[in-house]
């Protein structure tokens, strides 16, 4: 069978459409946010989230990133309000990064690329019975995107970085709990919002994106640790996951709304 997808030339974002035709859809993510073209929407509300420290359960190397997987069998950690109707249950959080500190975010702002990007993934547990079902619906998922720029050491992030050496190879995982995902949020919860998709295959167009305006920082050393993860499994020739960011996709017939003036 054809190689599965990845981030190298032979299986990366430029050829995903061969296996996943949605890649050329009309509400794909990420996008290039142009602040001059966003529209302030007075009906948008402040974001409201409440995360239970014990929701995170494991951290795993899924081959294209590492993700902190949460127990989403009940409504213990939820995101509400903002652009959302109802409440969205926390599922997992993960990062995207690039080969150097000069780029690696997925969303860009006024042409600016950041070093990395955090995605906090939630699904509409009021309307749908599980994540997989919600992922098939236009209002099924809500993902908070946090831009990461190279700079000061990030101490809440260090708790995550400290375990990456234990999940070096694809498919490895380790227990990871007593962690508050909101400890990674910036002080301001100002955001842009638009309707988009998953940024990796299956690229489903089921995401209400909430991109925070204020970036967080991470040190160059912390960012370098991301790149030391392997996309190869144990026993395979080592292949570093140097980059796992998809470039911005056409905006097509979409508008980006701002919560702030
Ligand atoms: N980069 S992203 O935040 O858009 C993102 C979030 C979640 C996922 C994800 O959960 N993928 C696995 C998946 C998705 C839909 C249906 C499935 O059965 C599995 C992928 C990308
Ligand atoms: Zn992501």
Q: Report pLDDT digits (tens) over 48-107.
A: 999 999 999 999 999 999 999 999 999 999 999 999 999 999 999 999 999 999 999 999
Specify the pTM. 0.98
- Ligand 1 pocket, residue 135 CB under 6 Å: yes
Chain-wide mean pLDDT for the chain? 97
Q: Which burial class, exposed, middle or buried, applies to 137 when counting CB atoms under 10 A from its CB (0-12, 13-18, 19+)?
A: middle
Nearest CA to ligand 1 atom 4: 198
Nearest CA to ligand 1 atom 12: 202
pLDDT attached to residue 1: 44
Q: What are phi and psi of 224, to 5 degrees?
A: -65, -30
pLDDT attached to residue 175: 98
- Ligand 1 pocket, residue 231 CB under 6 Å: no
pLDDT at 2 over 90: no
- Check if the interface score ipTM surpasses 0.85: yes
239 alpha carbon to ligand 1 midpoint, in Å? 23
131 alpha carbon to ligand 1 midpoint, in Å? 9
Beta-strand relationship, 78-81 and 47-50:
antiparallel
Tens of pLDDT, residues 216-241? 999 999 999 999 999 999 999 999 99
12 alpha carbon to ligand 2 midpoint, in Å? 15
Nearest ligand 1 atom to alpha carbon 200 = 21
pLDDT attached to residue 13: 98
pLDDT attached to residue 3: 59
- Ligand 1 pocket, residue 200 CB under 6 Å: yes
Tens of pLDDT, residues 174-198? 999 999 999 999 999 999 999 999 9
Q: Are 29 and 209 in contact (CB under 8 A)?
A: yes
Distance CA 257, CA 83 (A): 9
Nearest ligand 1 atom to alpha carbon 145 = 3
Residue ranges with CB less than 5 Å from ion ligand 2: 119
The two counts, helices (H) then strands (E), for the chain are: 4, 15
Q: Name the strand (E) or helix (H) holding 48.
A: strand 47-50
Q: How far is CA 15 from its chain centroid? A: 21
Q: CA angle, 261 as apex, 151 and 257 as ends, to 5°?
A: 85
Longest dimension (CA), the chain: 55
Q: Name the strand (E) or helix (H) holding 96.
A: strand 87-97
Structure tokens at 79: 């995101």
Nearest CA to ligand 1 atom 1: 199
Q: Among 69, 194, 200, say which to mutate for ligand 1: greatest number of ligand atoms within 8 Å of CB.
A: 200
């Amino acid at each position: 069978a054809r190689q599965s997808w990845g981030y190298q030339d032979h299986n990366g974002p430029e050829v995903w459409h061969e296996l996943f035709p949605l890649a050329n859809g009309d509400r794909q993510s990420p996008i290039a946010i142009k602040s001059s073209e966003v529209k302030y929407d007075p009906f948008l509300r402040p974001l409201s989230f409440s995360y239970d420290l014990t929701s995170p359960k494991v951290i795993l190397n899924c081959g294209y990133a590492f993700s902190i997987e949460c127990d989403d069998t009940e409504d213990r950690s939820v995101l509400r309000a903002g652009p959302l109707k109802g409440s969205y249950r926390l599922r997992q959080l993960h990062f995207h990064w690039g080969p150097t500190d000069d780029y690696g975010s997925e969303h860009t702002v006024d042409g600016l690329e950041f070093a990395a990007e955090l995605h906090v993934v939630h699904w509409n547990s009021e309307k749908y019975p599980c994540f997989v079902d919600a992922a098939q619906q236009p209002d099924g998922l809500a993902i908070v995107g946090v831009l990461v720029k190279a700079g000061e050491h990030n101490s809440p992030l260090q708790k995550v970085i400290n375990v990456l050496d234990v999940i070096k190879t694809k498919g490895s995982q380790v227990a990871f709990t007593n962690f508050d995902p909101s400890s990674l949020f910036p002080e301001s919860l100002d955001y842009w919002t638009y309707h988009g998709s998953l940024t990796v295959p299956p690229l489903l167009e089921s995401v209400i994106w909430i991109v925070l305006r204020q970036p967080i920082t991470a040190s160059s050393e912390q960012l370098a640790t991301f790149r030391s993860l392997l996309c190869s499994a144990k026993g395979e020739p080592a292949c570093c996951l140097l980059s796992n960011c998809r470039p911005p996709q056409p905006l097509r017939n979409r508008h980006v709304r701002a919560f702030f003036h």
